[in-house]
Amino acid sequence: MLPSLLLFCTLLFAGFEADALTYDYTASCLENPHKPQYGGGIIINPELSHGLRGWSTFENAKIEHRVLSGGNKFIVAHSRKQPNDSISQKVYLQKDKLYTFSAWIQVSDGNAPVAAVFKTTSGQKHAGAVTAKSKCWSMLKGGLNVNVSGLAELYFESKNTSVEIWADSISLQPFTQDQWSSHQDQSIEKTRKTNVRIQAVDEQGSPISNASISILQKKLSFPFGSAINKNILTNTAYQNWFTSRFTVTTFENEMKWYTNEPVPGQENYKDADALLQFAKQHSIAVRGHTVLWEDPNYIQGWVASLSPRDLAIAVDKRINSIMSKYKGQLIAWDVVNENLHSSFFESKLGQSASASFYNRAQRIDAATTLFLNEYNTIEDNRDGLSKPDNYLRKLREIRGFPGNNNLTLGIGLQGHFSNPPNLPYIRASIDILASASLPIWITELDVANNFGEQAQAEYLEQILRELHAHPKVSGIVLWSALAPGGCYRMCLTDDNFNNLATGNVVDKLRQEWGSNSSEGTTDTNGFFEASLFHGDYKVKISHPTMTSPFLAQSFKVVSTDHRSEQTTLLLKV
């Protein structure tokens, strides 16, 4: 008698012991600020309900407690003459903790960027910034960690000294490393995995106990990849190393305009074609990078010297050329690269030039997600140009262009890290961006080697774990294309494809996210249960009563958005 298999896919939400203190993913200008997150954490008098208790003057501001007509109490720094004339509070920061920070900020007039800064024994640490407005409260959300324990002074800084800085609902919440990684685990269980229940029954429908079940992952759904360049085309060792690891890629330079049209009218897609062909052969998805790049340093000479009228024609031709050529064959287009830092095209063609490029792009390849691609949004919170609220402002500007209200947009965060990562800030900035409800991809992740090979690998691991665990991150691409001269900033292997410490991190995490070790036996009711990462699987069942050594069947684990939903698959064997 041959057993048949029943497979139930159901999301079970018991079984995970969440820490008492959960992480708050919300962010947003409101008439009244929200309550401070985590009750204010270690901030004294976070809602200013006890006058100025706990608060003092920083540098030479005058500070004041005020109440709005609706009863809302807050603190004000006025008569400011230098950026750091402010309010402040002393806090004790511990080196092994991760701190989330949030505050609701308003300025007295117009709008002005305001940063939250901690003056510590080892220098100023930025926790985040927001462009605060007058007449409504903006949430500044960020975080920090310190490498030395000690007293610190929190203050708010704005270069515009003619505005008063108002603050309310200030929160600084420490988390232990254990609590932090427990939030990651919790989020992974919820967003990346599904609990799968398999039942073995015989032909009469009676459960078969003690059957051996083994579940093998064939493909992970979460897109995880790395950049490549034309060198891979002639290097089989590189090809083997790459294709056994990654499911998505970006071409380092082969789809850039300066590569495709170095001389006007002489288009060259040879390398891009060959790379795309290679990727297709191995079922590797490709992000199109990049239709246009705003940085004047990467504009080829002939383009830089065009009159605005001729530039408009050349740009239109460029967009049309590359996008028609690869239409429908890519999973993403970086339409405009680094527009928050540079604006070559806007400076020549007008302020709405970028928005018009997206409009054009959509008309050519409407089915592919169109990304803005930027650096420093998650990796350096001192860079005000690409801070999350500026990113959102740019998205609104693009969407506001006539005919752009239906754009399929995506958020591309490069992730070129030069300093030890600030995980609470990474998480907070993605929370803020998530309010746009668009797919968020990490597009060019690397870590500089400033701190030695071991630290580079350690930071890479911390960043990858944080990003993969964030519920709103849809995919990650590393920026480690190998060329004979090395990599841009971070290689994963040496020239012979032996892993470096960074490559070991990548393999360790691939193994972990592959959740490869689901093996066991069915219980007395014939059930076997496992929590599996979304992906393609093969399940094998064997039992002493079976004539053949085992029966195998493939199945796919997908996310179940509705908790009560239960999918039953009958596996015909």
Ligand X SMILES: *[C@@H]1O[C@H](CO)[C@@H](O)[C@H](O)[C@H]1NC(C)=O
Is residue 163 near ligand X by the rule CB under 6 A? yes
Residue 119 sits in the site that holds ligand X (CB under 6 A): yes
* Residue 545 binds ligand X, judged by CB under 6 A: no
Question: Is residue 384 within the footprint of ligand X (CB under 6 A)?
Answer: no
CB of 306 to ligand X, least distance (A): 31
Nearer to ligand X among residue 318 and residue 534 (C-beta): 534
Instruction: Give, as one character, the DSSP assignment of residue 296.
Output: G
Nearer to ligand X, 406 or 564 (CB): 406
Select from 112, 115, 411, 447 the one that contacts ligand X (CB under 6 A): 112
Pattern 189-218, ligand X, x by CB under 6 A:
---------------------x-x------
Judged by CB under 6 A, the stretch of 96-104, 108-116, 181-189, 449-457 that binds ligand X is 108-116
Distance CA 333, CA 315 (A): 16
Residue number with CB closer to ligand X (186 or 359): 359
Residue whose C-alpha is closest to residue 7's, from 516, 555, 531: 555
Shortest CB 12 distance to ligand X, Å: 24
Q: Is 123 in the site for ligand X (CB under 6 A)?
A: yes
* Least Å from the CB of residue 359 to ligand X: 10
Q: How far is the CB of 434 from ligand X (least distance, A)?
A: 22
- Work out how close the CB of 405 gets to ligand X at its nearest, in angstroms, rounded to a whole number: 6
Q: Which residue from 26, 324, 351, 516 is in contact with ligand X, where contact means CB under 6 A?
A: 516
Phi-psi region of 381 (alpha: psi -120 to 50; beta: other; left: phi over 0): alpha
Q: Which stretch binds ligand X (CB under 6 A): 116-124, 260-268, 427-435, 547-555?
A: 116-124
Of 184-192, 196-204, 284-292, 509-517: span binding ligand X (CB under 6 A): 509-517
In whole angstroms, what is the distance from residue 153 CA to residue 172 CA?
A: 12
Q: Which of 406, 496, 524, 564 binds ligand X (CB under 6 A)?
A: 406
Task: Verify binding: residue 350, ligand X, rule CB under 6 A.
Answer: no
Distance CA 27, CA 139 (A): 7
- What single DSSP character describes residue 188? H
Residue nearest to ligand X (CB): 110
The amino acid sitting at 62 is K
Distances (CA, A) of 397 to 129, 208, 352, 392, 515: 20, 61, 8, 9, 42
Taking CB under 6 A as the criterion, the residue among 28, 147, 206, 240 binding ligand X is 147
> For ligand X, which is the closer residue by CB, 344 or 425?
425
Nearer to ligand X, 274 or 509 (CB): 509
What is the C-alpha separation between 79 and 461, in angstroms, rounded?
46
Question: Minimal CA–CA distance to 442: which of 458, 455, 281, 421?
Answer: 421
Closest CA to 21 of 127, 120, 125, 97: 97
Amino acid at 164: E
Least Cα distance to 238 among 522, 417, 511, 482 occurs for: 482
Q: What does the alpha-carbon distance between residue 489 and residue 309 come to, in Å, rounded to a whole number?
A: 38
CB of 67 or CB of 148, closer to ligand X: 148
Among 4, 149, 160, 186, binds ligand X (CB under 6 A): 160
Query: Dihedral of the CA atoms 406, 407, 411, 414 (nearest 10)?
Result: -170
Locate the DSSP E strands across 281-401: 285-293, 332-337, 369-374
Question: Which of 341, 514, 540, 569 touches ligand X by CB under 6 A?
Answer: 514
Tokens coding 73: 């109490």
Region binding ligand X by CB under 6 A among candidate stretches 62-70, 384-392, 425-433, 512-520: 512-520
Calculate the CA 222 to chain-centre distance. 13
**Shortest CB 108 distance to ligand X, Å:** 8
Asked if 565 is an active-site residue, the reply is: no
The Cα 226–Cα 443 span in angstroms is 9
Beta strand 111-120 with 123-133 is antiparallel
Which residue is catalytic, options 157, 338, 379, 466?
338
For the chain, counts of helices (H) and of strands (E): 12, 27
Instruction: List the one residue from 79, 122, 240, 525 that touches ligand X (CB under 6 A).
Output: 122
> Looking at 164, 254, 444, 529, which residue is catalytic?
444
| Residue 361 vs residues 111, 304, 317, 334: alpha-carbon distances, Å | 33, 22, 11, 10
Binding mask 69-88 for ligand X (x = CB under 6 A): -------------xxx----
Residue among 316, 267, 310, 328 nearest 291 (CA):
316
Q: Specify whether 444 is catalytic.
A: yes
Contact status: 544 vs ligand X (CB under 6 A): yes
Q: Is the dihedral of CA 24, 467, 341, 435 positive or negative?
A: negative
**Of the candidates 162, 177, 450, 525, which one interacts with ligand X according to CB under 6 A?**
162
Which positions ≥6 away from 509 have C-beta within 8 Å?
Answer: 461, 464, 465, 468
Is residue 411 within 8 A of residue 439, CB to CB? The reply is yes
| 5 vs 163 by CB, closer to ligand X | 163
Indicate the residue among 83 and 471 with the shorter CB distance to ligand X: 83
- Angstrom distances, CA of residue 406 to CA of 340, 363, 384, 400: 22, 11, 29, 10
Determine if 518 is a binding residue for ligand X (CB under 6 A). no
**Interaction pattern, residues 15-54, with ligand X; x per rule: CB under 6 A:** ----------------------------------------
Task: Tell me whether residue 26 or residue 511 sits nearer to ligand X (CB atom).
Answer: 511
Which residues bind to ligand X, rule: CB under 6 A? 59, 82-84, 109-110, 112, 119, 122-123, 147-148, 160, 162-163, 210, 212, 403, 406, 511, 514, 516-517, 544
Residues annotated as catalytic are 338, 444
